[in-house]
Amino acid sequence: MLPRTTRIAIISLYALENNGVRHIAASLRHAGFHVTEIYFKDWTNNHFPWPREREMELLLEQLRHRRIHVVGISVRASAFHRIASTITRRIRLELSLPVLWGGMHPTFLPERCIRQADYIAMGEVDRQVVEFFDRMDRGQDLSTCKSFWVKTAEGIHRNDLAPLVDDLDSLPFRDYHSHSDKLTIQGTRVRKGDPFIHNSEFTMLASRGCPYWKCTYCSNTVTRSLYDGLGRPFRVLSVENIVREVEYARTQTRAIRFVRFDDEVFPTDESWVEEFREKWPSRVGLPFEVLVDPRMVREKPLRMLKEAGLRALCMGIQATERVNRELFNRDIPNTRIVECQRIFRRLGIRSNLQIIWDDPCSTDHDKDELFRLLMSLERPFEVFLFGLTIYPSTHLARRLLREGRITPRHVEGESTHAFEQFRVDLDYPRPAADRRWLALVVLSNKSFIPRWLLWRLYLNQRYRKDPAPLLRLAKAANLLHLAQTGGEMALRGEMSFLLLKRWLNLRSLVTM
Ligand code: B12
């Protein structure tokens, strides 16, 4: 291997787990580069405080102390645009280092991002990033690197995207061992070592992309058109590779109690699932959780996954039939949701049903229908409410802007909605009618409240004028339910300081 002289730092903003940073760092280390991963602050539910001056100083000190030559920043979510710009300015001003941005946000808005950074990486760049730094290391021309935009004195070089990596197994595992080259900056401290590996929860992906990719609010509508003709939109890792990654991670820690697969949708191809059922229990043996889509829920693969240790899943209902079809481009009848929940109950898999709230299209009638749909589902189930966040360049953003229903200020990047109401909380200011619906939806899944009582609350005209008492009831029920869930996790040995810190935000309690 060639001796490399370029010393690289990659910064993760407010995410200790950041897959993107971990993959990029692993690929570069694999090619012989010296890479420092810097985890700059962590996320907490609905609260992303602006970096303190001391945190900025610590970051700059570390870059100086480690004699870094070039800094990469992972700008995964658009809401981080301003924070990333501020950090970039400080690095360039105080250290005169070039800065490279990568992640979903520069992929969505390259023209805007290249104004701030010296270089941007578009889309997935596991292989191209090695070529980019290889050229930099040899002092060669960067301006023709595929998937990269490069700012030079002559102007901006905008290169086409390289094809997607088809064989995900060919990529190195995310690195969980280079402890001295991993730092976390939070408050007044710099901690060495991997900040996530000692957590009870291990997160990973079994795939990249999405087989549906048409839901208007999602990043996949953007990446799909960018990668048109450049590879399959949905790629799945082999079961063997997944199992090996967990085995490798467990050589670094004994803390892992369960695994959460963060895929857009977990693979359900039957032969793949069958192999998973054979290998996971004997070689990993940990409970795991996945995300599914109502269009792919079938009893047979789910039964096999249950046998392998699947204990809970998340499924996006998003909205009722009309809104799903007309606003989100999801053709999913309500009867399908009812059927899915029946399957989950038959198999004894805990279901977390996700709903998008605060969309500009749902009428009183739609909310009524949503409540009725939830009331018709077999209990128990969880309801996870998310506030609609409008990501730039998505089909939804473009349509709502075109129709004049939103202004550019409502689009993430300008807006930081994902920081404030990503998960809906009951105290957020909303019109009275909406607060009543929200309270009813939050109450709908609480098994300790009988359904007849819920119908009486629903029919009571008083709450239409003044939903405050209903909201108080919903808050109390939610708190009780959260305590119950937290207690169960503690009993299973899964509660960690990190999870508490992320989710126990008393100013904005998550609704479940
Ligand atoms: C899993 C996931 C999460 C997990 C992360 C788990 C983990 N271990 O990383 C969790 C639940 C923690 C999470 C949190 C959030 N997420 Co999220 N998440 C995803 C999801 C589904 C996959 C991300 C992923 O791991 N991809 C696989 C990796 C390998 O790809 P990647 O991150 O894109 O990285 C590649 C390239 O982008 C690039 N790259 C990335 N960083 C860098 C840096 C440099 C220097 C370079 C050169 C290249 C580079 O190279 C990488 C390898 O090819 C995406 C959707 C998607 N398809 O991307 C949403 C997504 C990224 N999330 C999103 C959002 C909004 C958030 C939150 C803000 C939500 C919230 N309020 O809590 C937080 C932000 C947390 C944070 N501080 O970053 C949005 C962002 C949209 C936007 N424009 O803002 C997305 C796109 C989903 C969507 N709705 O469309 N998320």
Per-residue pLDDT of the chain (512 residues; tens, 9 = 90+): 668 999 999 999 999 999 999 999 999 999 999 999 999 999 999 989 999 999 999 999 999 999 999 999 999 999 999 999 999 999 999 999 999 999 999 999 999 999 999 999 999 999 999 999 999 999 999 999 999 999 999 999 999 999 999 999 999 999 999 999 999 999 999 999 999 999 999 999 999 999 998 999 999 999 999 999 999 989 999 999 999 999 999 999 999 999 999 999 999 999 999 999 999 999 999 999 999 999 999 999 999 999 999 999 999 999 999 999 999 999 999 999 999 999 999 999 999 999 999 999 999 999 999 999 999 999 999 999 999 999 999 999 999 999 999 999 999 999 999 999 999 999 998 888 999 999 999 999 999 999 999 999 999 999 999 999 999 999 999 999 999 999 999 999 888 888 888 888 777 788 88
Ligand 1 center from residue 433 Cα (angstroms): 34
Atom 74 (ligand 1): residue with closest C-alpha?
Answer: 77
3-state secondary structure 84-138: HHHHHHHHHHHHCCCEEEECHHHHHCHHHHCCCCCEEECCCCCCHHHHHHHHHHH
Q: Which of 38, 40, 104 to mutate to test the pocket of ligand 1 (most atoms within 8 A of CB)?
A: 104
**DSSP state for residue 301 in the 8-state scheme:** H
Atom of ligand 1 lying closest to residue 204 CA = 8
C-alpha 438 – ligand 1 centre gap (Å): 28
Strand ranges, E, within 187-345: 189-192, 201-204, 207-209, 234-236, 258-261, 288-292, 310-318
Q: What is the pLDDT of residue 26?
A: 97
CATH no. for 197-424: 3.20.20.70
Q: How far is the CA of 213 from the centre of ligand 1 (A)?
A: 16
Q: Which residues contact 12 (CB under 8 A, 6 or more apart)?
A: 18, 20, 21, 37, 38, 39, 40, 74
Q: Of all protein residues, whose CA lies closest to atom 39 belonging to ligand 1?
A: 103
- State in Å: Cα 440 to ligand 1 middle: 32
Q: Which strands form 258-261's sheet, in the order they lie side by side?
A: 201-204, 258-261, 288-292, 310-318, 350-357, 382-387
| Atom from ligand 1 closest to the CA of residue 208 | 27
- Positions of CATH 3.20.20.70 in the chain: 197-424
Q: Is residue 324 helix, strand or coil?
A: helix
* Centroid of ligand 1 to alpha carbon of 378 (angstroms): 33
Nearest atom of ligand 1 to the alpha carbon of 14: 77
Distance CA 379, CA 419 (A): 31
What residues does CATH 3.40.50.280 cover in the chain? 7-183
Ligand 1 atom at minimum distance from 218 CA: 90
Using alpha carbons, list the distances in angstroms from residue 19 to 13, 28, 191, 202. 12, 14, 20, 12
Give this prediction's pTM. Answer: 0.96
Q: Which atom of ligand 1 is nearest to the CA of 125?
A: 53
Residues 320 and 373 sit within 8 Å (Cβ to Cβ): yes
Gap between the Cα atoms of 262 and 266, Å rounded:
8
**Which residues contact ligand 1 via a Cβ below 6 A?**
10, 13-15, 17-21, 23-24, 43, 72, 74, 76-79, 100, 102-105, 108, 121, 124-126, 129, 203, 205, 208, 218-219, 262, 264, 391, 412, 418, 422
Residue 380, preceding peptide bond in cis (omega within 30° of 0): yes
Query: Which ligand 1 atom minimizes the distance to the CA of 100?
Result: 45
Looking from the CA of residue 18, the nearest atom of ligand 1 is 9
Domain 7-183 matching CATH 3.40.50.1100: the answer reads no
- pLDDT given for residue 195 in this prediction: 94
